[in-house]
Structure 1
Amino acid sequence: MTQQNPHRFDLGGGQRTMKAVVTTGHGGYEQLVYRDVPVPTLAPGEVLLQVLAAGVNNTDINTRLGWYGAAVTTATQDAALAHENQSAPATPDGGWNQATPFPFIQGTDCCGRVVAVAPGVREQLLGLRVLVRPSMRPSGFDSQDNIWMGSDFDGAFAHFVKVPADEVFAVNCDWSDAELATIPCAYGTAENMLQRAQLGQGEQVVVTGASGGVGSAVVQLAKRRGAFVTAIVGRSKMAQIKALGADLVLAREDDWVASLGENTVDLVVDNVAGPAFGTLLKLLKPGGRYVSSGAIAGPLVTLDMRTLYLKNLTLLGCTAWAEPVFANLVGYIERGELRPLVAQSFALDQIAQAQRAFLDKTHVGKFVLIPPPPDGCDSK
């Protein structure tokens, strides 16, 4: 492995292409094309990573489906089925910041190794195993402007990815590459929500969708903060989430108000939304907080404004991460305060199979894609 030019990574034999999954437009799995593309060229301030493992997230699927567009009003699974049945609405506004930059490479989660740096970037980064902070703040942390790797620009479903040098974080731990790849999007989103909501020790928190990537991360991170955690999951997964640390586990089909009582909960962390939204607000104490960064069961909800204002509730939406979030996660990993949850690993070219399994929702934790070693590059 040689570095002929710091602006361009060279794989020994002068190779200039790599394998990647290119998402060619809004639609079904046919939009995921595994093919040769150019190895990224570094701009000033950037580093090139060999992707060691890349996590699969709901946002990858939502972006491909155009779910963020206003024309889509259904759950993610229903939107996916509509594309399979060729009955999906047109989604010209399918990106959350701007039009999605098709064709491009998705992949929000990246565990990688630094293999090249642009001029002026410290060479001490070369060879380090790192995680990439996918939620980037191009206008600084005082602005709410944010862009996401794998949604707004090329991501990690490839042999290599280029990112700003300031967005890579070295991690010193004995976790596998696949285990590290479960962290960035899910745990960063979870930690950001708990920070925004200012969850305190001894508070009562309800977590919906607690078996998914973000939900299982919230369970761990809320317990780390000393909260009493009630997790809501499918009945078949209750024992696994209890073993993860939840104090109380309820099934999705249970009567949550009967089990917990009205006005008993300090914080609801809800990435499910859909029809259950009103019930969750009933659980909140006067002055309680509701925080969300997703809506997998449907983006449109019914809000009784009297519940909101008579109970003095606070509703928080979270996409742009606060500055301390990702550095905190690295510290938690290095101190052994988190547990990675790899549901299954797939080869990179099995992305459609991985996303189908993701939408089946029979798993606990995260699915991870493993690229094959690029020709001429040491994978270790």
Structure 2
Amino acid sequence: MKAIVLKELGGAFVLDDIAKPEPGEGEVLIRIAAAALNHRDLWIKQGKYFLKEYPCVLGSDGAGIVESVGAGVSEELTGNKVVINPALHWGPRRHGHGKDFQILGMPTQGTFAEYICVPAENVYPIPIGLSFEKAATLPLAGLTAYRAMFYRGGLKRGEKILITGIGGGVASFLLSFGVKTGALTYVSSSSQEKIQQAVSLGAMNGVLYTAENWTDLLLEMEPEGFDLVIDSAGGPEFLQLLKLLRTGGKIVNFGGTAGKIPEMVPAQLFWKQASILGTTMGSPIDFEQMLSFVTEYIVTPIVDRVFPMEEVQAAFDHMQNQSQFGKIVLRIADI
């Protein structure tokens, strides 16, 4: 079968022929129609991820058709259109993953291939009305966004939320989920164009985080502060987010692209009655609820661009340019 192979650290993505997998006990074989990119794939390529096993086939997001099943799996799944939950072996506790937890696409084979075997418990019907390409955007970003916003952040209708760094996959789902919930949704970005696009999609307003007084600008918009801030950057500006919280507010963080968080004076935290929470990926319950939310609220995933499988390098170049708004998708097969 054809697969996109990363043969060495820092190397180029190569379209190559590898062995087609066979489903083992409890597994299904999926013919992949579409896969989506994540920054995780880029970090693995650059050696910034904690696992470094090469050659490898990356990809955590995928949608396609069940072609065959392994022992112990119902034959009725064969032919179903499915989306893959990339959170493997989460464990019994919703509050946190167990010691065997893995993310699809390192060290296991990922979705940048014509076929993949995954546990049957990790496949779900594609939400009604979504194409393979739109469904393929849901797994990692949709799951991360849903858990951060609702399970960890506890967002409710009418509350005020700030989403930092609008434009990427998770942030675009946070925007969609916040607007659909009826929350007063604000964004920050380094691009005025992205802010304007977010407003066109339902955001109340936004600010350039490159502006010297960006926190003051947000507090002029919402003087009482925000109930929830969801952040993927960390870094030197992270403590400015505490300034933006109303009393009893929460910050939920799911990434550290801006580096280390500076030292904090404890009073900044306890005087605000603030909570700082971490999250990554999500449990099977979170995934199921995310798909139900997408169906109930008719969420249309935001697809920035679709590239054919053969143009994978161009797709990653586009991601590195940081011009995207929404998810970047690879078309693996026309099914």
TM-score over 0.5 for the pair = yes
2:23 alignment partner AA: L
Residues 186-239 of structure 1: per-residue CA shift (max 9 Å, x gap): 111100101212112222111011221111110111222221111112112222
1:169 equivalent to 2:124? Answer yes
Aligned to 1:46: 27
Unaligned runs of 5+ residues in structure 2 are none
Which of 212, 216, 227 is the matching residue for 1:258?
A: 216
1:327 alignment partner AA: E
Unaligned runs of 5+ residues in structure 1 are 1-17, 69-93, 374-378
Which of 137, 158, 178 is the matching residue for 2:113?
A: 158
Give the 5 Å matches for 1:322-333. 322-333=283-294
Confirm or deny: 8 A CA contact 1:44 1:120 kept in the other structure: yes
Distance in 2 separating the partners of 1:303 and 1:20: 45
Q: CA 1:285–1:334 in 2, change beyond 3 Å: closer, same or farther? A: closer
Q: What SS is found at the alignment partner of 2:227?
A: strand
Q: CA 1:302–1:277 in 2, change beyond 3 Å: closer, same or farther? A: same
Aligned to 2:36: 55
1:110 equivalent to 2:62? Answer yes
Distance in 1 separating the partners of 2:72 and 2:87: 24
Q: What SS is found at the alignment partner of 1:214?
A: helix
Aligned to 1:197: 153
Q: CA 1:284–1:172 in 2, change beyond 3 Å: closer, same or farther? A: closer
Give the 5 Å matches for 1:8-19. 18-19=1-2
Distance in 2 separating the partners of 1:216 and 1:320: 16
Question: Relative to structure 2, which stretch is displaced further, 191-200 or 157-166?
Answer: 191-200
2:215 alignment partner AA: V
Distance in 1 separating the partners of 2:224 and 2:97: 32
Which of 63, 75, 79 is the matching residue for 1:127?
A: 79
Aligned to 2:321: 360
Identity %: 29
Residues 329-351 of structure 1: per-residue CA shift (max 9 Å, x gap): 22233335212211111111211
Q: Give the TM-score taking structure 1 as reference length.
A: 0.81
Confirm or deny: 8 A CA contact 2:87 2:283 kept in the other structure: no
Confirm or deny: 8 A CA contact 2:12 2:313 kept in the other structure: no
1:300 equivalent to 2:260? Answer yes
1:280 equivalent to 2:261? Answer no
Q: What SS is found at the alignment partner of 1:275?
A: coil
> Displacement of 1:260 after TM fit?
2.6
1:67 equivalent to 2:48? Answer yes
Aligned to 1:140: 92
1:107 alignment partner AA: G
> Displacement of 1:276 after TM fit?
2.1
Q: Give the TM-score taking structure 2 as reference length.
A: 0.91
**Root mean square deviation of aligned Cα:** 1.8
> Displacement of 1:138 after TM fit?
4.5
Q: What SS is found at the alignment partner of 2:17?
A: strand
1:118 alignment partner AA: G
2:280 alignment partner AA: T
Aligned to 1:318: 279
> Displacement of 1:140 after TM fit?
2.7
Residues 1-32 of structure 1: per-residue CA shift (max 9 Å, x gap): xxxxxxxxxxxxxxxxx0111222332xx242
